[in-house]
Amino acid sequence: MATIKSTNYSIYIGEKSLPTLVKFLTKNSYTNYFIICDEHTFEKCLPTLLFNVPQLHEAEIIELESGEDKKTLETCLQVWGALTDAGADKKSLLINLGGGVISDLGGFVASTFKRGIHFINIPTTLLSMVDASVGGKTGVDFEGIKNHIGTTSQPKGVFVNPEFLKTLSERQIKNGFAEVIKIALIADKEFWKELKSVKEFYSEKIITKAIELKNTIVKKDLYENDLRKCLNFGHNIGHALESALIEQKKDILHGEAVAAGMLMEADIANTLKRINVKELKEILDYINFIYPKIKLSNSTKELLLKYILHDKKNEGDALCFSLPKNIGCYELYNGVKIELIKNALVNY
Amino acid sequence: MATIKSTNYSIYIGEKSLPTLVKFLTKNSYTNYFIICDEHTFEKCLPTLLFNVPQLHEAEIIELESGEDKKTLETCLQVWGALTDAGADKKSLLINLGGGVISDLGGFVASTFKRGIHFINIPTTLLSMVDASVGGKTGVDFEGIKNHIGTTSQPKGVFVNPEFLKTLSERQIKNGFAEVIKIALIADKEFWKELKSVKEFYSEKIITKAIELKNTIVKKDLYENDLRKCLNFGHNIGHALESALIEQKKDILHGEAVAAGMLMEADIANTLKRINVKELKEILDYINFIYPKIKLSNSTKELLLKYILHDKKNEGDALCFSLPKNIGCYELYNGVKIELIKNALVNY
C-alpha cells in the first residue's frame, strides 16, 4: 500500500486502504459515524466497505440521489437535517463514499456542521481518486455556478481502494483519466512516457503517482493564490466547453471536455512556442487515440467563447492559462488572446 | 485610538476607527464593496459610515430584516444571491454593519462564498463590540439550534466606533455589559475593581479592556478545544435559561439571562469553595444592582434543567462549568452535579 502525506492527513492507496481505515477508526474515538453515499455507491461499494470495516456496521447511512444537479444547498439541508435528527455532535465522523459530488458536498456539510466536524473521503471513481478527494476544495453549485458556495477544508484521511473502479464503465474511467494525463503533461515527463507505454488506464501505481503530483502542488498553495492554478491546464477551454454543451443539453463528461480542452490548449502552447511541433503531435496523437472527437457546432463555439469571456471579465483584462512548457513542466501564461483561442477552435 | 492585534488582523477602537477604515480600504485593492445591515443600522449607522468613508459611496447595500429569528440559511440564500447578482468576485469585500446577528451571518456568508472572500466587522451594539465581532465564530441557527451551521473564520479587521452606541437603549447597553462583567470576573481582578468604581457602562477604555481580555484567550485557542471554554462563565445556566424563556415566549435578552446565570454559577463557585462568601456577595450585589431579577416559575425551572441536561448528554457524563477561582481567575470544573444547579436555582 502506498501512503502519501498531505497537509495534516494521509492518503492511503491500495487493497490495504480499508484495513487501514479500521485502524484509523480505532485510533480516533468518534462518538458515531455517518456515511454519505448515492444509490450507486450504496449498491456497489457500501457492502464492501461494511464487510471490511466492522466498526461501521452501526453507522447511520445517508443516501442521496446521484448527479451533479443534486450538488446543491437543498441537498445540504437534507444532510444537515439528517445529522441533527440522528444526534450528531462535534465528535461525529462523516464518511464520504462516492465520486466528486459526494466528497465536495459532504466536505462542505462537515466543515460547516457545528462549525466543523471531521470527515474522510473514500473516493469510488477514478476522477475523484486522482482529483476531487485531494486538495480540500469543498462546495456546492449555486444558481448554476459550479462550486459557488464552499470552503477549503481538509479531510482527516483519504482511503483509495482501486477495487471500486471495477464497477465503473470505460467511459467513466476515461472521465477520470483525463486528469491523469493533465498532471503528467504539466508536472512529470517520465510519468507521461510511462502512461504512453502502458495499456491500462489505472493501476495502484498510476493512481499513486497522479495523487502524489497533485498533492505536491496543492500543499504549496492551499488556497489557490498562485501555483495551484497550474492544475487548470485544459480546463479554461475544457470548462467553457463543458458549460456550453451542458447548456445545449448535450451528453458530456468533465474528463471528455478537459481532453478536448487539452488538445486546444496544447495547440496554443505550440503557437506560443512553449512546446514544439513534435511534442504537440505526441499529445494530439495520444489524446485523440483515447477520446472520440467532440463535434463542435458553430453555436457551441459561440457559447464556449461567451463562457471564456465571462471568466475573463472576472479575472481582469488578460486570460491566464496554465500551459505545458516542454512536456512535464508548466507555465502560467497571463495574456492569451481571444484570437489564439478562436484559432485553436478551428484547428481542433 | 486603541489597536489590538489579533491572529491575522487588528481591532481598532475609538473615534479614529472609521478614518482607519479609509486607510484600510486604500491599502487593500478590493474590486467592490458590499455592506450588510438591518433596518436599524441602515437608518442609524449607515449614514455615519458613508459620511466618514467616502470609498463606500459606491457600495452595494444588502438590507436584511433584523432579529435572531432571521439568522437562518434562508437569509444566507438571500445574501449569496445578492452577491452573485451584483457580480461579487473573489476580491470583493463584505462589510458587516450591525450586531451579532449581522456579523455571525455575514461572516458565514463571506467565508463560504466562492470558498471564502474577505469580510470586516463594524459592530454597532455593545454586545457585538465586546463579544461577537471578535473570535471568528460565524454561523446561523438551524432547526432551532443556535449557531448550528457555521465556520470559524477571522475577519480582516474590526472597526469599533463607540459613537454608534448612543443610538441604543439602556436595556440594549446592559445586554452587552453582561459580557464585560463576565470577562472581568474570570480574567482580571483590577478590571473588576475598575468596573465597580465607575458609573458608566461603556467607554473607549472599558470596551478596549474587555476586547483585549477576550482576544488574549481566543488567540490561544482558536477552535475552542479547551481554554476558550472559560468564556462560558454564566453561560451554562444563562444559555439554558434563555432557551427556556424563549420557548415560553418571554421577553429576554442574552445579557439578562447571562447576568442571572452568573449569579447562580457564582453561587455554585462558592459552594465548591472557588470563591469565598465575601467575593460572592460582591458579585451578587453588583449584578443585582444593574439587572432586575428574572421571575422563575416552576415550569421555567423545569425547562431550564431540561436544556442543561440536553447539553450534558452531548458532552458526556459530567457537566463542565467555567467558574471564577477567586475573582479575576477561572477554573474549568468538570463535574458540576445537577443538585448543585437545583440548589443555585433555589438561592437565586
Q: Please, what sign has the CA dihedral across residues B298, B302, B307, B309?
A: positive
**What part of A 175-234 touches B (C-beta under 8 Å)?**
223
| Confidence bin at B99 (pLDDT 50/70/90) | very high
Q: Which residues contact A224 (CB under 8 A, 6 or more apart)?
A: none
Residue A283 · residue A234 · CB < 8 Å: no
Q: Which of A257, A244, A245 is nearest to A308 (CA)?
A: A244
Q: Which residues contact B200 (CB under 8 A, 6 or more apart)?
A: B206
Per-residue burial over A52-80, b if 16 or more Cβ lie within 10 Å, else e, is: bbeebeebbbbebebeeebbbbebbebbb
Locus of grid cell 471568528: B136
d(CA B106, CA B35): 9
Alpha carbon separation from B326 to A57, B196, B263 (Å, rounded): 49, 16, 15
- Biggest CA–CA distance in chain A, Å, is 61
Share of chain B above pLDDT 70, in %: 97
d(CA B92, CA B160): 21
From the DSSP assignment, how many helices (H) and strands (E) are in chain B? Answer: 14, 11
With an 8 Å Cβ cutoff, is B55 touching chain A? no
Whether residue A81 and residue B314 make contact (CB cut-off 8 A), yes or no, is: no
Mutate to test the interface with B, among A31, A83, A137, A149 (most CBs of B within 10 A): A149
- Average pLDDT, integer, range B260-289: 96
Ordered domains of chain A (ranges, CATH):
2-167 (3.40.50.1970), 175-347 (1.20.1090.10)
| Confidence bin at B313 (pLDDT 50/70/90) | very low
- Is the interface score ipTM higher than 0.95? no
Q: Which of B89, B139, B150 sits opposite A314 (nearest CB)?
A: B89
- Helix (H) or strand (E) holding B149, with range, is strand B145-149
- Give rounded-to-5 percent helix, strand, coil for chain B: 55, 15, 30
Q: Which of B12, B13, B41 is nearest to B156 (CA)?
A: B12
Per the model's pLDDT, the better-predicted residue between A293 and B145 turns out to be A293
pLDDT value of residue A313:
45
Per the model's pLDDT, the better-predicted residue between B118 and A311 turns out to be B118
If you write DSSP's letter for every residue of A2-38 in order, what string do you get?
EEEE-SSSEEEESTTHHHHHHHHHHHS--S-EEEEEE
Torsions phi, psi for A278 (to 5 deg):
-65, -45
**What part of B 103-142 touches A (C-beta under 8 Å)?**
108, 111-116, 137-139, 142
- Helix (H) or strand (E) holding A331, with range, is strand A330-336
If you write DSSP's letter for every residue of B12-68 in order, what string do you get?
EESTTHHHHHHHHHHHS--S-EEEEEEHHHHHHTHHHHHHH-GGGGGPEEEEE--SG
Q: Which of B231, B283, B291, B228 is nearest to B255 (CA)?
A: B291
Whether residue B77 and residue A73 make contact (CB cut-off 8 A), yes or no, is: yes
Instruction: Show the cell assigned to B24.
Output: 484600510
B18 has pLDDT over 90: yes
Whether residue B150 and residue A77 make contact (CB cut-off 8 A), yes or no, is: no
Torsions phi, psi for A7 (to 5 deg):
-55, -70
Q: Which residue type occupies B195?
A: L
Whether residue A147 and residue B115 make contact (CB cut-off 8 A), yes or no, is: yes
d(CA B129, CA B158): 9
Q: Mean pLDDT, chain B, as a whole number? A: 93
Torsions phi, psi for A203 (to 5 deg):
-160, 165
pLDDT value of residue A130:
96
Instruction: Show the cell assigned to B231.
Output: 468564556
Q: Which residue type occupies A112?
A: T
d(CA B225, CA A91): 12
**End-to-end alpha carbon distance in chain A:** 41
Q: Which residues contact A164 (CB under 8 A, 6 or more apart)?
A: A44, A45, A48, A123, A124, A125
d(CA B11, CA B15): 13
Q: Which residues contact B236 (CB under 8 A, 6 or more apart)?
A: B261, B265, B308, B311, B319, B321, B322, B336
Could you give the 3-state DSSP secondary structure of residue B305?
helix
Q: With contacts defined as CB-CB under 8 Å, which chain A residues touch B73?
A: 73, 77
Torsions phi, psi for A119 (to 5 deg):
-145, 155
Q: With contacts defined as CB-CB under 8 Å, which chain B residues touch A143?
A: 81, 84
Whether residue B148 and residue A113 make contact (CB cut-off 8 A), yes or no, is: yes
Q: Which of A84, A143, A145 sits opposite B143 (nearest CB)?
A: A84
Q: What is the pLDDT of residues B198-222, one digit of tens each?
A: 989 999 999 999 999 999 998 887 7
d(CA B238, CA B281): 19
Q: Which of B80, B90, B151 sits opposite A142 (nearest CB)?
A: B80
> What Rg value do the Cα atoms of chain A yield, rounded?
20
Could you give the 3-state DSSP secondary structure of residue B87?
coil
Residue B106 · residue B119 · CB < 8 Å: yes
Give the CA dihedral B108, B111, B117, B122, nearest 10 degrees. Answer: 40
| Confidence bin at B42 (pLDDT 50/70/90) | very high
pLDDT value of residue A311:
60
Could you give the 3-state DSSP secondary structure of residue A95?
strand
B192 has pLDDT over 90: yes
For A222, the closest chain B residue by CA position comes to: B115
For A110, the closest chain B residue by CA position comes to: B149
Whether residue A113 and residue B149 make contact (CB cut-off 8 A), yes or no, is: yes
DSSP H helices, chain A, are 17-27, 39-44, 46-52, 73-85, 100-112, 126-127, 170-187, 189-197, 204-220, 235-247, 254-271, 277-290, 298-315, 338-347
Q: What is the pLDDT of residues A75-91, one digit of tens each?
A: 999 999 999 999 999 99
Whether residue A112 and residue B115 make contact (CB cut-off 8 A), yes or no, is: no
Residue numbers in chain A where pLDDT is lower than 50? 312-316
Alpha carbon separation from B183 to B201, B210, B232, B234, B276 (Å, rounded): 14, 7, 10, 10, 19
